[in-house]
Each structure stands twice: as structure tokens, then as C-alpha cells.
Amino acid sequence: MSTALPINHKRLSVRDIGARKGGAPIVCITSYSAPMAKLMDDHVDVLLVGDSIGKVRFFSLDRIST
């Protein structure tokens, strides 16, 4: 899978997000896995990626180290 951004896809900076205050809503979701994040990346403004499902899947009790 390519990591290149589509031509119409622009990364938002913190300033870009701040400039939208009071204007257009920001679409933000949380993805619990990298494959799902790749699928959703082109459709949202902000994407939070966590690995908590990996901790559960691989029976890790330690939440700090990987």
C-alpha cells in the first residue's frame, strides 16, 4: 500500500485547526488499529490512532511499555 497522499488530501496543522474555530466543523475519529486508520485517513480531518485493541489481542497487562 502506498504512503503517498492523494493530490486533494492536505495535512492540517495546529494553526489550520485553530483557524477553523467557529467555522466549518472538524471531523475527528479514533481508530483502534493501523489498517482501519489507513482506510479512514482520506475521509477525516483528524485521526487518532490507539493500540488498545493490540494490548487486548496479545494479552498485554502492561499499559506503558510495548
Better-scored residue on pLDDT, 1 or 43 = 43
Return the percent helix, strand and coil in the chain, to nearest 5. Answer: 35, 10, 55
State CA 9 to chain mean position distance.
Answer: 14
Position of cell 500500500? 1
For the full predicted model, state whether its pTM sits above 0.75: no
Determine the longest span between alpha carbons in the chain, in angstroms.
43
Half-sphere exposure for 53 (CA within 13 Å, toward CB)? 9
How do residues 16-54 score in pLDDT, each as one tens digit?
989 999 998 988 998 877 888 889 888 888 888 876 666
